[in-house]
Structure 1
Amino acid sequence: MQPIAITYLQHGLSVLPAKRADKRPAIGSWKQYQTRLPTETEIRAWFSNPQDGICIITGRVSGNLEIIDFDNGGELFDRWYKRIPADLQNRLAVEQTPSGGWHAIYRCESAVSGNMKLAQRKDGQKVHTLIETRGEGGLFLCAPTPGYQLKQGQFTTLPVLKAEQRDILLEAAWLLNEYFPEPIQHTQQTGSSALRPGDDYNARGNVSELLKSHGWQFVNAYGENQRWRRPDKKNGWSATLRTVDNVFYVFSSNAAPFEPNKAYSPFMVYSLLEHAGDCSKAALALSKQGYGETPSQESVDLTKLLETTDDEEPVCLTKLLHNFKGLNPPIIYGLLREGETMNIIAAPKVGKSWLVNSLAIAIASGTDWLGFEVQQGRVLVIDNELHRNTSAYRYKQVAEALKQPVEKFGDNLKIKSLRGRLQDLHKLGQYFERIGPNEYKVIVIDAFYRTLPEKTDENDNGAIANLYNLIDRHAARLNCAFILIHHTSKGNQANKSVTDVGAGAGSQARAVDTHLVLRAHEEKDKIVVDAAVRSWAPVESFVLRKEHPLFIRDQQADPSALWGAEKKREPKEQTTLEEFVESCIAAKDPCSMQLIAYQAGQCYGLTEYKARQMLEMAAE
């Protein structure tokens, strides 16, 4: 494989050895090759050992390389291929996979977006992806990996497509989509029976006219759907509007403020286009236009809003194991998975917020964090601590120190600054309800204690357990993980177990899936990191060295050297009877028992009881 890998490299492709079974690179830290090509020396070193696969990184590093991946045995490939003009068909590189799937491979004149799901199907409760792209930051296994066969074209002569040609390929795939997710909409519960402006607009708002006023163009209609083209696009279409309920489904990755592969209710379309996504301002404006009703002044019964039910029946182990498809997908390998919650705990002013900056950037850009491999995805940071300008300054500092251009990850990272207008977890829950599933991979709350509802005692086990249960429900619905930034309890932390370091109720130690604890090292510029994980193998303690604004893993430092830790006494050597007599009796002869005991304690650390035993043995 080595000669072929070198040939791919010479033609501008970021090529790596791969583990065929895992469909992943066969090297440890591979994310750097999303931004730079490997050297020929690296290629020769990797492939000097037997490898069972080759993979290529897609995106800018490989010349704006993108592929369309047809899964499920490639069942939709023929239907898609027939929709492509013959001259464009003949230009593509086409590869078949071991499972019968297909890859359509090409380069683009302009930058490509991240991976996109183009066609899906829902089977029961499970959504299957049938066609998707591999774009910026993605990768795919390819020939000459066993089972992968090029049927048309070569990797050394890949076509370079114009934007409109790429649109033809993507639109042909979108036409085969069978599943539309539930629309993103404002779902705040008020406890009032009055019709809200947003709900009223959903029922009778004119979305078509709204889209036209913002430059969208009506293309045509088919069945109950209308096709719409985004502003500044001359051909093709970018979204559909379902006429029965005015749900707007966006395919294009260049249709800001909308995101690809998401459905929007009429009210959310209005909020995004007219009020930059501020639902409160949108509702107020619609109210002034005559939408909605004025709530009655009668008292509101909140009983139903507060009721919770648990209608899940017990499942026998046989069925549980039959339905088991594996653990949740990783987000931070070794630490965190989708649907999980992680506490990051440290004393004040240690640098937790700076660490959060680097963590958020790592996930948004898909780069390693503190030596842990990370899956790329969108991140939402709920910042209760910093003013917006301070937050902007810090992210700029960290990005520059990491040498990560903001344009690479900026759209994947959103910050909601709440300094001066704090919201408790119940209020934030209303905001989370407006977020659609899979919109974010991680939601960070910094700091968690500032979201505690009024009069909640952080030492109340029941109250804290309920809050973590609430977070678990949000994580399950959103298919994301929550990371909570928390503070330590008072006093010396060095001699506590990892799960006892956090302040407050003991239930928080059991409620989360991962504890990541930062404690002071004996050396002032270092901190010790300990972790307790639930769904991973145990994590060994390690040391971080502060190099402002970053924390760098220090492989040479001793993680057991916690500041304030009790030092273990060196085991004493056994005192011989001859040494005892010479030092404690003969040297002071004649002497009293009190003096012998004193000498034994000074010379050998013996107790008076032990000294008496030794004296009796000497007398015998």
Structure 2
Amino acid sequence: MSIETGIAEEYLAAKLSVLPAVREKKCPAVGKWKVWQERLPTDVEIRAWFANRHDAICLICGKISGNLEILDFDNHGELFPKWKELIPQELYEKLVIEQTPSGGFHAAYRCSDEICGNLKLAQGERDGKLVTLIETRGNGGLFLCYPTEGYTLKQAAFTSLQILSSDERKQLFDAAYSLNEKTQGEAKEPPDITDSDLFEERPGDDFNERGDIRDLLICHGWTPVRVDDGNEYFRRPNKSGTGWSASLKDRVFYVFTSNAYPFEPNKAYSPFNVYTLLEHNGDYTAAANTLLQYGYGKARETPLVNLSPFLSQVCSAAPLPPLQSSIRSLDKLMTEFPEMKPVLIHGLLRIGETMNIIAPPKTGKSWLVTDLAAAVATGSPWFGYPCEQGKVLIIDNELHPETSANRIPKVINARNYPMSIVQRNLFVENQRGFLRSIYDLKSRLAEIKEHGFKLIIIDAFYRAMPAGMEENDNAKMAEIYNRLDSYAAELNCAFVLIHHTSKGNQANKSVTDVGAGAGSQSRAADAHIILRRHTEEDAVVMDAVVRSFPPVMPIGLRWNYPLWNYDMSLDTDALDGKLEEVLPRAEKKDITDEAEEAAALLATPMPKTEFIALIQTKMDTSRNHARDILDCAKVLELVRESYENDPQNPKRNLKLISPN
């Protein structure tokens, strides 16, 4: 069975981001697909994709599809009948209900408010394993749907999705949460950072036994909802309605929602955890010291020692205490660090990491930085890379405050981000005229920590280096990055450094060799992003190497004031100044047969990059060889190249390949 173009066109007409898919793999059949989290496909793209045979179709959830979200009932839809009984009939009738090949169900709807990412709502143990029984597909998610074989509509259609209020959505979630079989377990305690030798009883342990966090939660905007069978239910701050977001039972505070910063979803917290996060921004040492003053815990009495006989022997600069060994067995290492650091920019950057962004002078780096800051401030994708929402600080040592105040709103309005959210989460410190070095941040950590920033951007890096330091000094540059690592750990944030390329041609360098100064810059950073000029005007290629994620592919960006936008029509190999292969075509291997085979794949016009990807997939070859095959097909006049206006952006053209 192949999907007809007509159904895809109907979904697109309903403002749904629709893609062809591979049924067996449950993934899109268009290669890199995250661009369609930001824009809808064009009519041309839909016709080109579905002119080829595809056995599945999928929809992208989230903002791009009008805040589309689904509840996914797994394990053969085991909990679907119980869940259906728990919600009002009139609410159930507003949903699109679809049955999956395994007997599970999808319940689909649109939301009046922006939605979060995927959430696990109900889990249970089956055959000795913990399995997810109900989960959502939200921002960053997708799902296969009708008319893919095995997917059957039971109620309504995706072309007639209804919009639910936040309270109605909460009713769906509450019903699912109530079916959760996973025991909450005990709250994890923070690392033992308060030395037990200093206390007969640690303040945190005493607070866990005696402290009452109810008034603390209310003081921070949490609302008590109800008490049921020993469970006290609370609704998160800035949330109205009758739903609830967390429960308190047996002195364990369990958070379900992903929108209750600083708490994480589906995690349990002890009273000391809650107090430290809400009152001290996660600083357990400060929390313990304050609780000690409030009468929690007991300090150990230490006898006084007269050191005067030894003072004359002490030098003015006392030696540092010996370093504690960090050697661990693999078993201990895996036990202490069971998970990676939290993600901030999916695919690129985690909390605690440092990322470089390197670009030629006067290529709009500051505009790019503002776009990145606004994406994190709103939790929006950045060139297809989903961002977790958090507060952002831009330390700008190049622009005057008046310039920043003028530029930033332009980017926010161009991206159509809610101004109120960005104003609340984006902070700027303009240092032009009174520069401070990266080392000066040390004395300001307490001040910065109060804000709870998740991302700190330093623009530009060269102006934040300590006086007299050479950017070509590998040892000194490594020292700066080590210092940033310590700041990131203390602040629980990530750093982004904006820097410029060296002089001369960058096209023939490897990614890690691009950037002015010492090579340790690219090696010390956890992510190294570079922008290089494209052969087309007002276009660049963004490439990266990353440490804690799978390798990423280069993408093309095109300037459209005041934004850099992802442009899939750009050939990412066409770098300005790149050395071309000098061998004449006659000396290359004859690929006429392959060119004819490739031309046969093309039934209707298709964007050039899509056609190259199709050749790669269908003919099992490399990207470069697929480009050679296409070039040969054009020489043989089997296909032709043309341009068509992009309906999503009238200022640019799509490069199409059409059959002759």
| Range into which the TM-score falls when normalised by the shorter chain | 0.5 to 0.7
Q: Mean alpha-carbon deviation: is it higher for 191-200 or for 13-22?
A: 191-200
Alignment of 1:510-521 (within 5 A): 510-512=523-525, 515-518=528-531
Which residue among 303, 307, 321 is the counterpart of 2:325? 307
- Give how far 1:144 is off: 0.9
Aligned residue type for 1:132: E
Q: Which of 396, 410, 418 is the equivalent residue of 1:406? A: 418
The one of 564, 569, 575 aligned to 1:559: 575
The alpha carbon displacement at 1:177 in A equals 5.7
CA distance in 2, matches of 1:539, 1:212: 47
Are 1:385 and 2:381 counterparts? no
Alignment of 1:335-484 (within 5 A): 342-346=355-359, 351-361=364-374, 366-367=380-381, 369=383, 373-378=384-389, 381=392, 383-385=394-396, 394-401=407-414, 403-406=415-418, 410=422, 484=496
Match of 1:227 in 2: 233
Q: 1:528: Cα distance to partner?
A: 7.4
Q: Deviation of residue 69 (structure 1)?
A: 1.6
Q: 1:284 to 1:106 in 2, by over 3 A?
A: same
Structure 1 contact 361–409 (Cα < 8 Å) conserved: no
1:101-116 superposed matches below 5 A: 101-108=104-111, 111-116=114-119
Amino acid at match of 1:485: L
What pairs with 1:119-138 in structure 2 (closer than 5 Å)?
119-120=122-123, 129-136=132-139, 138=141
Change in 2 beyond 3 A, CA 1:127/1:466: farther
Matches of 2:224 and 2:554, distance apart in 1: 57
**What's the CA shift for 1:219?**
0.6
| Structure 1 residue 54, shift from structure 2 partner | 1.8
CA deviation after TM superposition for structure 1 residue 216, in Å: 1.1
Change (3 A) 1:362 1:79: same
* Percent of aligned pairs with the same amino acid: 44
Cα distance in 1 between the residues matched to 2:79 and 2:323: 45
8 Å contact kept, 1:13–1:57? yes
1:51-90 correspondence runs (5 A): 51-59=54-62, 62-71=65-74, 74-85=77-88, 88-89=91-92
Give, in angstroms, the shift of residue 240 of structure 1: 0.8
Query: In 2, are the aligned partners of 1:498 and 1:530 still within 8 Å (CA)?
Result: yes
1:386-424 deviation per Cα after TM superposition (whole angstroms, max 9, x unaligned): 5988766543232334x3323698499665869688776
Once the 2 structures are TM-superposed, how far is the Cα of residue 358 of structure 1 from its aligned partner?
2.5
- Seen in structure 2, the aligned counterparts of structure 1 residues 525 and 53 have a Cα distance that, compared at 3 Å, is closer
- Aligned partner of 2:51 among 44, 48, 51: 48
Quickly say closer, same or farther: Cα 1:236–1:330, change in 2 above 3 A: closer
Partner of 2:223: 216
CA distance 1:256–1:488, shift in 2 (3 Å): closer
2: CA distance, partners of 1:310 / 1:432: 33
User: Residues 44 and 555 (structure 1 numbering): CA distance in 2 closer, same or farther, change over 3 Å?
Assistant: closer
Cα pair distance change 1:85/1:521, threshold 3 Å: closer
Q: Contact (CA 8 Å) 1:344, 1:515: kept in 2 or not?
A: yes
* Contact 1:530-1:541 at 8 Å conserved across structures: yes
Using the size of structure 1 for normalisation, the TM-score is 0.63
Cα RMSD after superposing both structures: 6.2
SS in 2 for 1:4: helix
Q: Residue 598 of structure 1 aligns with which residue?
A: none
Alpha-carbon distance change, 148 to 452 in structure 1, aligned in 2, over 3 angstroms: farther
Cα deviation, residue 170, structure 1:
0.3
**Is this contact kept in 2: 1:120–1:179, CA < 8 A?**
no
Kept after mapping to 1: 8 A contact 2:532/2:541: yes
Query: What does 1:242-281 correspond to in 2, within 5 Å?
Result: 242-244=249-251, 247-252=252-257, 261=266, 266=271, 269=274
State the match for 1:240 in structure 2.
Answer: 247
Name the residue aligned to 2:213: 207
Code of the residue aligned with 2:182 in structure 1: it is E
CA pair 147-189 structure 1, distance change in 2 beyond 3 A:
same
1:522/1:82 CA distance change after superposition, 3 Å: closer
CA offset digits 1:28-73 (Å, max 9, x no partner): 7866755766666664454333222222233455454321123455
Structure 2, unpaired ranges of 5+:
308-317, 334-341, 583-660
Q: In structure 1, the residue corresponding to 2:51 is in which secondary structure?
A: coil
Note if 1:117 corresponds to 2:128: no
Match of 2:151 among 140, 148, 153: 148
Q: 1:178 aligns with which of 168, 177, 182?
A: 182
Whether the 8 Å contact between 1:381 and 1:445 is mirrored in structure 2 is no
Deviation at 1:22, TM superposition (A): 4.6
Give the 3-state SS of the residue equivalent to 1:103 in structure 2.
Answer: strand
Corresponding residue to 1:16 among 11, 15, 19: 19
SS at match of 1:499: helix
Superposition deviation, residue 186 in structure 1: 8.2
Q: 1:252 & 1:208 partners in 2: Cα distance?
A: 18
Q: Residue 576 of structure 1 aligns with which residue?
A: none
Structure 1's 186 and 550: CA in aligned 2 closer, same or farther, altered over 3 A?
farther
Aligned mates of 2:436, 2:193 — CA distance in 1:
20
Cα distance in 2 between the residues matched to 1:180 and 1:196? 25
Query: What is the identity, as a one-letter code, of the residue corresponding to 1:385?
Result: D
Secondary structure in 2 matching 1:516: strand
Letter in 2 for 1:405: Y
TM-score, normalization: structure 2?
Answer: 0.59
Structure 1 residue 217: deviation in Å?
A: 1.8
Could you say which residue in structure 1 is the equivalent of 2:170? 167
